């Protein structure tokens, strides 16, 4: 079980401990409550990355401070959204996955 308003960063490489885990990282987002904000700080090789997610009346507002790599956002246990202002949306067994390109620092998700 994961506490509501939680974000867990999961790297794409599970074979070794020393890799650029900010490359193609997936942020798993769990149960962000209405009008609540949650954030996570990631540190790697003197690089600090901060992602902040705010639940709004229309959906979610996302900002990410480190956009030099591709990254993903997985809304756990949410299986339908109307739109995302950026990224490619796919549905998987865990929820909605949004894949974002380098340079994406802000976007919105409409539920």
**pLDDT band at 61; cut points 50, 70, 90:** very high
> 19 or 78: which carries more pLDDT confidence?
78
| pLDDT over 70 percentage in the chain | 88
- Predicted TM-score (pTM) of the model is 0.86
**pLDDT band at 24; cut points 50, 70, 90:** confident
Of the listed ranges 2-11, 19-28, 73-82, the one predicted with least confidence: 19-28
Question: Where along the chain do its domains lie?
Answer: 59-100
Total residues found in the chain within this entry: 111
What gap in Å lies between CA 2 and CA 85, rounded to an integer? 27
* Paired residues of 79 in beta bridges: none
Of 1, 7, 3, residue with least CA distance to 60? 7
Angle of CA points 71, 26, 30, to nearest 5°: 130
Q: For position 86, what pLDDT does the model report?
A: 93
Contacts 24+ apart (CB under 8 A), 100-104: 100/70, 100/71, 100/72, 100/73, 101/70, 102/67, 102/68, 102/69, 102/70, 103/67, 103/68, 104/64, 104/67, 104/71
Q: What is the pLDDT of residues 85-97, one digit of tens each?
A: 999 999 999 999 9
């Amino acid at each position: 079980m994961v506490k509501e308003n939680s974000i867990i960063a999961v790297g794409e490489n599970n074979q070794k401990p020393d890799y650029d885990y900010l490359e193609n990282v997936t942020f798993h987002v769990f149960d962000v409550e209405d009008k609540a904000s949650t954030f996570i700080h990631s540190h790697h090789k003197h690089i600090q990355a901060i992602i902040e997610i705010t639940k709004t009346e229309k959906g979610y507002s996302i900002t990410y401070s480190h956009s030099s790599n591709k990254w993903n956002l997985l809304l756990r246990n949410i299986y339908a959204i109307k739109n995302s202002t950026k990224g490619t949306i796919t549905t998987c067994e865990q929820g909605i996955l949004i894949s974002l390109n380098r340079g994406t620092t802000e976007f919105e998700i409409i539920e």
